[in-house]
Structure 1
Amino acid sequence: MERTAVNPWNWSIKLGYNQGEVIQGASRQVICAGQTSVDENGAPQHAGDMRGQIALALDNLEAVLEGAGMTLANVVKLGVYATDVDEALKNFDLMGMRFGPHQVTPPMTLLGVSRLALPDLMFEIEATAMA
């Protein structure tokens, strides 16, 4: 698979994502459901702790990708939902720490929402991955 960044402007690169990507040569695609800060039984974890929730949501995303034989390097699109966008952005260094080693900056949308599926959840991330 070959990825070519499309960035008519450079500001988003500093925030860790491309405006678009041209994907060529991909033969498999995985659509990941939104991953949140829940344990293996679906119980919410890290109530009131945005940083803890982002970290666990990323762990859960990586587990889904691993189950499909992929890693964060295969992610080509992210959708992020947060009940407090400012608090999420304060902790977005976690995104860079996870995606940075893979040298990918997938296009991303961050949306503020009034709540997520379970009341204690503050952060959710969904992904599309290709190989």
Structure 2
Amino acid sequence: MERTAVNPWDWSIKLGYHQAEVIEGATRQLICAGQTAVDGAGAPQHPDDMRGQISLALDNLEAVLAGAGLDLSHVVKLGIYATDVDAALSNFDLMGRRFGPHQVAPPMTLLGVTRLALPGLMFEIEATAMA
């Protein structure tokens, strides 16, 4: 799979994502449901802790990817939902720490929402991956 970044402007690169990517040579696509800060039984974890929730949501995303034989380097699109956008952005260094080693900056959308599916959840991340 070959990825070519499309960035008519460079401001998004400074924030850790590309405006778009051309994907060529991919033969498999994985569409992941939104991953949140829940344990293996689906119980919410890290109440009132945005950083903890982002970290666990990323752990869960990586587990789903691994289940399909993929990793974060295969992610080509992210959708992120947060009940507190400012708190999410102030902890986005976690995104860089996870995606940075893979040298990818997938296009993403971050939306502020009033609530997520389960009470207490503050952050959800969905992904599309290709290989």
The alignment-based identity, stated in percent, is 82
What is the CA distance between 1:8 and its match in structure 2? Answer: 0.2
Secondary structure of the residue aligned to 2:65 is helix
Structure 1 runs (4+) greater than 4 angstroms displaced: none
CA–CA distance in structure 2, aligned partners of residues 79 and 117 of structure 1: 15
Q: Aligned letter for 2:13?
A: I
Q: TM-score, normalised by structure 1?
A: 1.00
Deviation per residue, 1:71-91 (Å, 9 max, x gap): 000000000000000000000
Number of residues of Structure 1 aligned to a counterpart in Structure 2: 131
Q: Alpha-carbon deviations, 1:100-127, whole Å to 9, x = none?
A: 0000000000000000001100000000
* Structure 2 counterparts to residues 1-131 of structure 1, below 5 A: 1-131=1-131
Residue 17 of structure 2 aligns to which amino acid in structure 1?
Y
Structure 2 counterpart SS, 1:101 = helix
- Which runs of 5 or more structure 1 residues have no equivalent in the other structure? none
Cα separation, 2, equivalents of 1:71 and 1:32:
12
- Aligned amino acid, residue 47 of structure 1: P
Q: Could you tell me how far apart the structure 2 residues matched to 1:121 and 1:86 are?
A: 15
Deviation at 1:33, TM superposition (A): 0.1
TM-score when normalising by structure 2: 1.00
1:4 maps to a residue whose letter is T
Secondary structure of 1:127's aligned partner: strand
**Structure 2: where are the runs of 5+ without partners?**
none
Give 1:46 shift: 0.1
RMSD: 0.2
Q: How many angstroms does 1:54 deviate by?
A: 0.0
Report the Cα distance in structure 1 between the residues aligned to 2:116 and 2:16, rounded to whole angstroms: 24
